[in-house]
Amino acid sequence: MAESKRTVILDVQGLSVAFDSYDASLKKSTNLTIADLSIQIHTGEILAVVGSSGSGKSLLAHAIMGILPYNARVGGKMTYKGKELTREYQEKLQGKEIAFIPQSVAYLDPLMRVGEQVRGTGGERLREAQRKAFKKYRLDEKAEKLYPFQLSGGMARRILISTAVVANAELIIADEPTPGLDLNLAIQALKDLREFADLGKGVLLITHDIDLALNVADRISIFHSGTVVETARKEDFSGDGEGLKHLYSRALFRALPQNGFQIARCPKCGLSCAVWEIDGDELRCACGYHA
């Protein structure tokens, strides 16, 4: 798709997600898990958000889908196709214009046969599309009559991906879609996301795997400590990472096997980049050293 024809499909500006918690003496404290996070997804592109485990990636997906737990406090502004993403609008779009591939298979309805879940509100009309998707993901015909508890983990994952494929959505939010799939099916799932984007739709791919992101995404947002430190084009992740602006993105890129596992160790205490904190535009080691 020509770059000039691209429009912003999802715009997230200054998102924050905080949780209130209470200690034994009922004293309230607030834990900010996402802070001032901004991303934009254009039509025709895959934007990957890459971050380490527990950094708040799934919360970002849940904030977009409007399925955060009741005790979450959300700030900032999100728009979908230029219209503010209110609770009501989120409900309207869910599973239709915006399809979600959740990280956990617990999102399947335990009381509904999986064939029906994949067809969603399209019902019988989508039976053909559902059968096609099942075939593609090597789910046999009997699978559609099963309930979620009868599925293996890998089967459940393939069902979740089929749901997004069948929904014929405009935007897919995929939260770690490939773990638990064998290599061929993982490649197939990523190919599907690529094809989907090439049709002029948008994809947000959430992953901890920068290598996977580089294989399929157009742009990559590096997520750290609840915010995006840098969004760079795939081409900027090359050479020695000199095209990357932030030290943390460079450290992540240089640590890849193909780049010789260069780990940014702190010259003062020897700890690796995973324990570095971001301090403005700099990295600060837990020992206080600034890089």
Ligand X SMILES: Nc1ncnc2c1ncn2[C@@H]1O[C@H](COP(=O)(O)OP(=O)(O)OP(=O)(O)O)[C@@H](O)[C@H]1O
Site for Ni ion, rule CB under 5 A: 57-58, 103
Residue 56 falls in which region: left (phi positive, over 0), alpha (psi -120 to 50) or beta? left
Residue 68 or 146 having the CB closest to ligand X: 68
Residue 4 or 71 having the CB closest to ligand X: 71
Q: From residue 183 to residue 212, what is the string marking binding to ligand X with x (rule CB under 6 A)? A: -------------------------x----
Q: Is 224 in the site for ligand X (CB under 6 A)?
A: no
Q: Which residue is nearest to ligand X (CB)?
A: 58
Cα–Cα nearest to 87, from 78, 97, 100: 78
CB of 101 to Ni ion, least distance (A): 12
Neighbours of 224 (CB within 10 A): 21
- Restricting to residues 41-100, name those near ligand X by CB under 6 A: 51, 53-59, 69
| Binds 123: which of Ni ion, ligand X, none (CB < 5-8 Å by kind) | none
Neighbours of 144 (CB within 10 A): 20
Cα–Cα nearest to 173, from 133, 213, 203, 210: 203
Q: From residue 114 to residue 153, what is the string marking binding to ligand X with x (rule CB under 6 A)? A: ----------------------------------------
Crossing angle between the packed helical segments 127-136 and 153-167, to the nearest 10 degrees: 140
Give the number of residues in contact with ligand X, rule: CB under 6 A.
Answer: 13
Q: Which residue is nearest to Ni ion (CB)?
A: 58
Strand order in the sheet with 219-224: 98-101, 171-175, 202-207, 46-50, 219-224, 227-233
Q: Which two tokens stand for residue 65?
A: 């889908």
CB of 176 to Ni ion, least distance (A): 6
Binding-site member from 1, 19, 94, 96 for ligand X (CB under 6 A): 19
Residue 180 or 243 having the CB closest to Ni ion: 180
Cα–Cα nearest to 80, from 164, 168, 201: 201
Radius of gyration of the chain (CA): 20
Alpha-carbon distance of 284 to 273, in angstroms, equals: 10
CB of 20 to ligand X, least distance (A): 9
Please report, as ranges, the residues that interact with ligand X according to CB under 6 A: 19, 33, 51, 53-59, 69, 103, 208
